[in-house]
Structures are given as structure tokens and as C-alpha cells.
Amino acid sequence: MAVGILFAIIQVFVDVLPMVEVNAGNLQGLYPHSVFSKCMGMIRGSVFPAYYFMFLPILIGIPYGTVMSQDRKNGYIKNLFTRMPKRNYYIAQYVVAFLAAGVVAVVPQIINVAITALFLPSYVPLTGLGYIGIFPESLWAGIFYTHTYLYLLLYLLLDFVVYGFLSSLSLSLGWVFKYNFTVLMIPFVITQCMNVVLAFIGKNCWTIDSFACPSQPGVSTDPIEIAIVLLVLFAGAVISIIWGIKKSDELE
């Protein structure tokens, strides 16, 4: 999480603070730079959201993605199973991994928005400006142009769920791979493979990189499309959990 928070703070220094002076010198009555045009999740033309969401699948696995794999390697898991039911152990591991990944994904974004709000106004975006906001056909566009903070909150919840499911995949596949680095790279590899396949079939807006960012670089993201991706991730998480538990029992 520290890496994500550092990333979020640096973005404020690079992209937000210079706009304070620009707003102060705005003598022509132009629409001022606001939280919703310069925070990390909404700014366009900046490298920070691109790299943040690209490497986020790696960051979410750092807190808890390799725990079960390490427990198996050092024999700690066998000691636990003599004192508690296996079911309780697995439930605890997957719940904590899901929650930890969600927190890692959203807390840096929350901090970034909060700091940005200290320096820039929170003017509700206007649809006619063209350089601020999202497209009318984008997901939750009506909420964005009326209750923008609610829009950001909904996106945080979406990111929480998406990256929680990805972390579950990493936790389960930890039974297969020997090295922790390989386990941490699993969510990243999955997202990149999805990007390649979806780009090949002309469904770029289905990629996690596209719809997980509040600015929606995929232009038009349909709720049904997101639901399909979430169902696939959920199914993958459930299958990986069942498979991971079975694999664990075989390795004992």
C-alpha cells in the first residue's frame, strides 16, 4: 500500500499543485481546474493513472497474496491444522486476501482525492466543456455530472471487488509456483493476457485497465459488460479456491 500512497502523493505534486497558481491567475473567467479534473483517477494525459492501474495487480498481492504458499513451505500450515479446522483456515485466508487487496486498491485513490480537495475546488463538471469528465455514454455518466463524489465512491467499490477477486486467484495459484515473485505476478499476467485477447476481438472496453479507472479511457463502458467481466473473475476466483484447497490437501 505504501507504494500506491507514494504514487498518489507524487501525482499531487506533479499534476495538482501547479494548477493552484493557474487558478489564482485565472482573470478571464475560464472554468477552473478542479478535483474532478486533476485527481489521479480522473486526470487525462498524465502517466500516473496509467502506471498506477497497470501495476496495481502486482501491488494487491504484496500484503497477503503469498501467505498460504509460505505457510506450506515452512510447515506452519500443518501445525495450524492440528489446532483448528481446515475450513476455518481457508475461509480466513481468502477473506483477508480479498479485503487486503481491496484496501490496497482504493486507499491510495482516497488519499489522492482528499489531498487534491485541499488545493482545488470541487466544482461539479459541466457536460459542454469537452476537456473535463467522461463521455455521456460512459458508465454512471448521469451520476458523475450531478453527484461526482458519489460517482468516485461507486468506482472505489467497483475497484475493491475487482482487485479482491484477482487477489484470490494469486492466493490459490500459490500452491503451484515455488517462488513468491511468480505468485505476485499472477494477477498482472492475468490482466495483461485479458488485454491482449480482448484487444484482438475488439473489446478493449472490457479490459480491467479500461473500466477500473474512473476516467474510463475505454470511452463507453456498459454495465452489462462490467457484469460479465466480474462474473468471469468471480468464477475464476471460486474455481481457483476449490482447486487450491484440493491441491493443498494433496500436498500434505
Name which of 52, 61, 71, 56 is nearest 183 in CA terms.
61
User: What is the pLDDT tens value at each position of the chain, 252 positions in all?
Assistant: 788 899 999 999 999 999 888 887 765 666 788 899 899 999 888 899 989 999 999 898 887 777 777 777 777 777 777 777 777 888 888 888 899 999 999 999 999 999 999 999 998 887 766 556 787 778 888 898 889 999 999 999 999 998 988 888 777 777 677 777 888 888 888 888 888 888 788 777 778 877 788 988 766 667 777 788 788 877 877 777 777 667 666 555
The enclosing H or E element of 11 equals: helix 2-11
Dist CA 229 CA 207 (whole Å): 8
**pTM beyond 0.95:** no
Residue matched to cell numbers 485466508: 93
Helices 47-59 and 86-119: crossing angle in degrees, nearest 10, is 160
Dist CA 20 CA 29 (whole Å): 15
Dist CA 80 CA 87 (whole Å): 11
Q: Which 3 state secondary structure label does DSSP give 12?
A: helix
